[in-house]
Amino acid sequence: MADLNVEKQRIAMAVEFDGSAFHGWQKQDNAASVQAELQAALAAIEGDSVVTVAAGRTDSGVHAEAILVHGDVSAARWQRSHLAYLHGLNSKLPDTVRVIGVKAVKPDFHARFDCRERAYRYQIWNRNTLSAIHRWRHWWMPRELDVQVMQEAASYCLGTHDFSSLRASGCQAAHATRTINRLEIRKTGDAIEIEVAADAFLYHMVRNLVGNLVEVGVGKQSPDGFRELLAMCDRSKGAATAPAHGLYFIDAVYDGFSSRELIGRS
């Protein structure tokens, strides 16, 4: 039995994972999850259960490049060698999950509640043929997309708004008001990237946003029509939800650091 008097150290971990291998972040009874794998690896090192908390939940199939997770571990074991702890943890994880950065934080630090901004990237493969390489990393869109008009429509999302038009029916948030700080669309070759950062997101908000921007990009909706859709605050008037496998959690920002800044640190 583990010594209940062992002094604990709360650590923040930047975690990368391939979402195609999991039914999302959150631990589930009958499905593979990232949280279950990470907690099993921590338990193997600690000799006791470790509860982890992430900056946000991800759906089945969604990937992460640097989601921030906290957990409490043995202070003595952690202080012995941060790098050894990091490598030991990764040795217990499947190839589809990696802790890519870690640091000590205060005992009351909370990965979810202390997060000031979260950022996602959505990737689209815009070519008339499906890619053999990018098949499960991008949403394949064979029709040509007009990135310029998509960016015009996206500009209407900047700032603080009621995003009920982008809110999935299963959302449990108390309200739909969110603040989008940045929304950029870039095209490089056949790949289009939509990057969005906000104080918080509603359930399926990014995927619903992408679905509607694609409607603008193919000419089914105008930028002004998209602005009117946002003002309606009615999800039923919007486009279909974009598939999960094109979405990546890329950053979580806190006072003094972000999850991306932890990459390579130990």
Is residue 120 annotated as involved in ligand binding?
A: yes
- Catalytic residue, chosen from 3, 18, 48, 59, is 59
Q: What's the sign of the alpha-carbon dihedral 30, 174, 251, 85? A: negative
Residue 59 among the catalytic residues: yes
> Which single residue is written with the structure tokens 């989601």?
67
> Which single residue is written with the structure tokens 């359930």?
203
Find residue 182's DSSP bridge partners.
197
**Strands 247-254 and 63-74: what pairing?**
parallel
Distance CA 183, CA 198 (A): 9
> Which single residue is written with the structure tokens 């600690």?
46
Quick one: tokens of 110? 């909370």
Q: Are 169 and 204 in contact (CB under 8 A)?
A: no
Name, in order, each residue with C-beta under 8 angstroms of 131's C-beta and a sequence gap of 6 or more: 125, 138, 140, 190
> Which single residue is written with the structure tokens 């070759």?
189
Residue ranges of the binding site: 120
Residue ranges of the binding site for substrate: 120
- Active-site amino acid positions: 59
